[in-house]
């Protein structure tokens, strides 16, 4: 039995670690994960704070220059682009796959150690830290793990390491991957979301429920028909779309 567990964990490391990168800036270091084979990397906004370019080292040892192409406003995520092709990529889990008590692991660069593999479980799932959807783990992570993946027993990414509480024993947090992929515009094709563009400040509704304000709102979507509308210039602008055939809707000018 122990041999089977050992083999399974080594297999998961071999599956996930090649898609994890080392990010170095003048202010410190962090982790990231390749989400597109053309070199698009997802990391924390705080990892790349105050810089426009970063040094990126891949699992295979390539040293690349990365350009920070997007920083989210309200969630601690950012996108970095490197000039590369055919990079290994991570696979995202579904929001419904995240549950308290499930086994979870992380690969990152805690305290500068390259591609360290630590395991634990999901301790809690809740909304905290200014309304951002996060979950708590007791996976041992340290500064340098920020921006790296937390993944499940199939190797699918549940979230992105965002913060730990200094002085606390294994009290660490990750942003749910469904939230992390909703926000950046550069991940629209990878998010299982319906993205709605509308004039800034205009309330947007999907199937009668308010989902936020323009200019851009992304909401997890289910397969089938959805009614999308907004009040633009005093009139109701409405479209009926079928997801996933239609993933982006524009309401108004």
pTM, two decimals, is 0.87
pLDDT of residue 221: 83
Strands 28-36 and 40-43: antiparallel
123 is known as an active-site residue: no
The pLDDT of residue 148 is 97
Confidence (pLDDT) at 167? 46
**Is 2-82 CATH 2.40.10.10?**
yes
Q: Is 74 a catalytic residue?
A: no
Strand ranges (E), the chain: 20-25, 28-36, 40-43, 53-57, 63-71, 78-82, 103-108, 116-128, 132-137, 149-151, 157-164, 172-176, 193-197, 203-206, 209-213, 216-220, 224-232, 235-243, 248-250
* Common-topology check for domains 2-82 and 95-182: yes
Q: Which of 110-114, 138-142, 238-242 has the highest mean pLDDT?
A: 238-242
From the list 31, 37, 38, 46, the catalytic residue is 46
In this predicted structure, what is the pLDDT of residue 169?
54
User: Which of 131, 149, 141 minimizes the C-alpha distance to 165?
Assistant: 141
In CATH terms, 95-182 corresponds, of 3.40.190.10, 2.40.10.10, 3.40.50.300, 3.40.605.10, to: 2.40.10.10
**Average of per-residue pLDDT values in the chain:** 89
Minimal CA–CA distance to 79: which of 87, 88, 68, 65? 68
Question: Where are the chain's structural domains?
Answer: 2-82, 95-182, 192-250
pLDDT in tens, 127-151: 644 445 789 998 988 889 999 999 9
φ, ψ (nearest 5 deg) of residue 19: -95, 0
d(CA 161, CA 70): 18
The single residue of 31, 109, 146, 192 carrying the catalytic annotation is: 146
H helix runs in the chain, sequence order? 2-16, 177-182
* pLDDT at residue 168 greater than cutoff 80: no
Q: From the candidates 6, 37, 55, 76, which is the catalytic residue?
A: 76
Mean pLDDT of 184-211: 88
Task: For the beta carbon of residue 56, count every other beta carbon within 10 angstroms.
Answer: 24
pLDDT beyond 90 at 179: no
226 given a catalytic annotation: no
> Is 119 a residue whose pLDDT tops 60?
yes
Q: Domain 192-250 falls in which CATH fold?
A: Immunoglobulin-like (2.60.40)
């Amino acid at each position: 039995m122990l041999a089977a567990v050992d083999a399974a964990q080594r297999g998961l490391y071999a599956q996930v670690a090649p898609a994890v990168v080392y990010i170095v800036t003048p202010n410190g270091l962090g982790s990231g994960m390749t989400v597109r084979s053309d070199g698009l990397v997802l990391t924390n906004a705080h990892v790349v704070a105050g810089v426009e370019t970063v040094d990126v080292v891949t699992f295979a040892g390539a040293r690349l220059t990365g350009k920070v192409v997007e920083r989210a406003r309200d969630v601690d995520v950012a996108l970095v682009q490197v000039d590369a092709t055919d990079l290994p990529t991570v696979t995202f889990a579904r929001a419904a796959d995240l549950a308290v008590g499930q086994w979870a692991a992380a690969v990152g660069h805690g305290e500068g150690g390259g591609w360290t593999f630590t395991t634990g479980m999901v301790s809690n799932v809740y909304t905290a830290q200014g309304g951002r959807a996060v979950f708590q783990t007791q996976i041992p992570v340290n500064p340098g793990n920020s921006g790296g993946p937390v993944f499940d027993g199939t190797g699918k990414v549940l979230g992105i390491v965002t913060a730990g509480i200094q002085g606390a024993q294994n009290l660490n947090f990750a942003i749910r991957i469904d939230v992390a992929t909703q926000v950046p515009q550069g991940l629209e094709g990878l998010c299982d979301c319906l993205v709605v563009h509308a004039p800034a400040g205009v309330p947007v509704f999907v199937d009668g429920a308010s989902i936020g304000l323009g200019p851009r709102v992304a909401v997890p979507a289910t397969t089938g028909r959805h009614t999308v509308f907004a009040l633009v210039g005093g009139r109701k602008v409405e479209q009926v779309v079928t997801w996933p055939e239609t993933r982006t809707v524009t309401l108004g000018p």
